[in-house]
Structure formats: structure tokens, C-alpha cells
Chain A
Amino acid sequence: GDSVTQMEGPVTLSEEAFLTINCTYTATGYPSLFWYVQYPGEGLQLLLKATKADDKGSNKGFEATYRKETTSFHLEKGSVQVSDSAVYFCALQMNTGFQKLVFGTGTRLLVSP
């Protein structure tokens, strides 16, 4: 079935470091891809999305490019802040008209001053 694989965490970085969180997917068709973020004590929030190959999603300094050839959607940020500490989830949604999201296991990011 459809699935998402994320790198294991936690990822520990110092403030202003470069961030990459790897995400790859397996799907029978061409899904839409998402990154959701869960801050401590809060619900999941959409961070960015891409709906077709070569699309780049971006928000709050984060970026991810939909790579069909490598079935990947890696999350990057050039300079992380302490406030970026959270759990990041990669997810896919098949374009079937249903809202079901298939999530990765999540990657915890810890940013220290």
C-alpha cells in the first residue's frame, strides 16, 4: 500500500544551522505531498504542500520539492530558530477525492540557542 518513510529523529541542531529532513514515499499513482508540523501541546498544522512533480512548496523559510524520479519530498530550511523545535510529519494524499492522509512516523527537531 501507500506509505511514507521519514528519517529517524531526534534531529538536534544549533540555532542558524541548515536543516534537512528526508522523506520518501511509495504510492501507486501520483499523490499530493505535505509537511505538517506539531508544536508542543498543539495540534498538527500544515506547513507546506506540493500537488505535482517538480512543484516546490514553501512557508516560513521552509521548502520542499516534489521529486517524482526519486519519490522524495525532503524538507529544508537554511537557518533554523529555537522556535522551529517541533515534530515534523511528511504525508501523502492520493488524488482519489478522499481526504485520507498517509503520514510518516514524524521527526522531532530540537534547536538549541
Chain B
Amino acid sequence: KAGVTQTPRYLIKTRGQQVTLSCSPISGHRSVSWYQQTPGQGLQFLFEYFSETQRNKGNFPGRFSGRQFSNSRSEMNVSTLELGDSALYLCASSFYRDFTGELFFGEGSRLTVL
């Protein structure tokens, strides 16, 4: 079955703009998480959603937001982009509400902020 799909794969923005990234989880998975990966900070947790509800949030400023739709697809938005937001943004999905199995990761959306 199809894996986690993230779009777009690559994008370039300028400072001050906003960006929306999309994630389609594996069919049947209702839990979606987002992570930011940078060379300096590594992988950092952004949000976790289950059944359209944000269950957990990492230590990121309010410029970072997300949501989940009734079909479990998720989007994250970053407003007023800064150079430091350049990163690989990874989405992961899971069948379970509570973590009893593995997370399945997409290939990521690579954002470059100029």
C-alpha cells in the first residue's frame, strides 16, 4: 500500500512569506505527527494529531501551526518565514492513537528560505 506522501518535496521561499506543507498518511492511519530536521538541531517534534485534534505540541513559536482533516490528511503552516526555518519537514503516521507501534515517515518537504 502507498506510504506517507508529502507535498511539495522541495520549495523555496523568501523571508516574511508563509508556506503550507501537506501530508497524506498511509490509508487507515489516523494519527499524524510532524518533525523538523536541521543539521544543527537534528529532529525536533512539532505537533501530533489524532482525529482532527491536536494532542501534543513541541516547543516552536506560534508561527508554526497545523491541522488535520476528517480524512486524516494533515497540513502544517509556517507564517512570516525566517532564515532559520530552512529545514526538512517530516510527517509520520500511525494507526494507533496511543503509541504501540512504529511511526511511518514520509520523505519530507525540503524548505529553503532565502
Contact = CB atoms under 8 A, between A and B. Distances in A.
Interface string A76-113: 00000000000001000100011111111110000000
A104 B107 CA distance: 19
Contact of B102 (A46, A100, A106): A46
B48 A98 contact: yes
Nearest to A38: B105
Interface residues of B, number: 25
Interface in B37-83: 42-45, 48, 55-56, 58
B contact face: mostly helix, strand, loop, or mixed: strand
A109 to B, nearest CB: 16
A99 B42 contact: no
B42 A105 contact: yes
Interface of B: 3-4, 31, 33, 35, 42-45, 48, 55-56, 58, 90, 92, 94, 97-99, 102-103, 105-108
- Which 4 A/B pairs are nearest by Cβ-Cβ distance? A43-B105, A46-B102, A103-B43, A44-B105
